[in-house]
Amino acid sequence: MFDTRTSCVVVVGAQWGDEGKGKLVDVLAEAADVVVRFQGGANAGHTVVLGDSQFILRQIPSGILHGTSTCVLGNGVVLDADGLFSELLALNERGIATAGRVLVSNRAHLVLPYHKLLDAAGERSQNIGTTRRGIGPAYVDKYDRRGIRVGDLRNMESTLLRLEENIQRANTLLPLAGMTERASLEEHVALLTRVAPKLLPLVTDTGRYIHTALKQSKRVLLEGAQGALLDVDHGTYPFVTSSNTTAGGASVGAGIGPTAIHAVLGVVKAYTTRVGEGPLPSLALPPLEEHLRSLGGEFGAVTGRPRRCGWFDAMVVQYSARVNGLTGLAVTKLDVLDSFDDIPVCVAYDVGGERCAEMPSEVGQLAAVKPVYERFQGWKQPTGNARKLEDLPKPARAYLDYLEVLVEVPIRFVSVGTRRDQIIEAGK
């Protein structure tokens, strides 16, 4: 993906998240100088398999597993500082060098314990399916202009005054939601006092850092969390996350102009999954859904929640291609379909006997659609050893070719397993 014309590449999930972005970023990061996480928080996990080892990264970009990449947490991230240092420690204990390789934006907002209490309170009433890690309330504080940014730790006196006001406000709201637990000012002061000396040496103007890297012709990879259908503006609202997960959010969340981005790679599974609440039109019938879940290991990397599983939904990915401006696709987990006799693909929706032109924007309408399927012959043989498109069974090639035609975006990568080497780059 990197050449003289594409020195800045965005990788986004093009479904509901959990598409395997971590593996794609890991593969692309081998050629990247800088890898940037541009939004989200510790509510999203990227899973990367190296040999016999599995790494689950919640906040640190997947590029940390390559010793040459600098990893950046951009201003669009909401940071759980304790979680960040736990993650760094776990990587160090497993032989991954992190010293001098992680930078944090001075404009990134902090997720604090009172945010997690408010998240739990909100979930009791809304049942959106959040991870209760404080992400939504942290973004609420950000847009309500009461948030505490990483750079604010340089001026602890004024920061603690604002913190006290925020905790008082939280403790007023918590009983209204039926919560008996209260936020402790002392706990928060102790937390910020403890993490500030460790965090501040990592802090810089990361937007300027990325801008300078691009001027020096370095290769920059921007990675998002979750997927396009969880974008707060373009997703299946209200069953969405609290940030912009689409490619437009990469520019804002990294602190660079949109013209600096040269390519957008959308990652999709060869089928479809969703964790949490909200409609999933192409949901498979129970026996096949369980089979997909079992074969694909479809459980949340952060929460362990089982994902709902269904067939590839072209309506979803067509929409995602439009709102992200995708220039390429990466299809993951093709090997999960190896044992199926036939494979349905959702090619359209019907509502009341009428064909939808595209995915409805209202969640109630989306929940009411009837998927229209075309069925493809299964290949009934393992694909895990394929390293070129020509190595794949003909029915698997035909399946991929049809997805490419449906979505009108060229397939650049195909993943046939969890290991680094189990990936096919189109044309090679």
Beta bridge partners of 372: 348
Amino acid occupying residue 103: L
Active site residue 18: yes
- Of 18, 119, 231, 313, the catalytic one is 18
Residue carrying structure tokens 């804002």: 252
The residues, any chain, with a CB within 8 Å of residue 400's CB and separated by 6 or more, are: 331, 334, 389, 392, 411, 414
Phi/psi of residue 259, nearest 5 degrees: -70, -10
Question: Contact 42/302 with Cβ under 8 angstroms?
Answer: yes
Question: Contact 342/380 with Cβ under 8 angstroms?
Answer: no
HEC secondary structure over the chain = CCCCCCCEEEEEECCCCCCCHHHHHHHHHCCCCEEEECCECCCCCEEEEECCEEEEECCCCHHHHCCCCEEEECCCEEECHHHHHHHHHHHHHCCCCCCCCEEEECCCEECCHHHHHHHHHHHHHHCCCCCCCCHHHHHHHHHCCCCCEHHHHHCHHHHHHHHHHHHHHHHHHHHHCCCCCCCCHHHHHHHHHHHHHHHHHHEECHHHHHHHHHHCCCCEEEECCCCHHHCCCCCCCCCCCCCCCCHHHHHHHHCCCHHHCCEEEEEEECCEEECCCCCCCCECCHHHHHHHHHHHCCECCCCCCECEEECEEHHHHHHHHHHHCCCEEEEECHHHHCCCCEEEEEEEEEECCEECCCCCCCHHHHHHCEEEEEEEECCCCCCCCCCCHHHCCHHHHHHHHHHHHHHCCCEEEEECCCECCCEEECCC
- Of 26, 46, 109, 313, the catalytic one is 46
Active-site annotation, residues: 18, 46
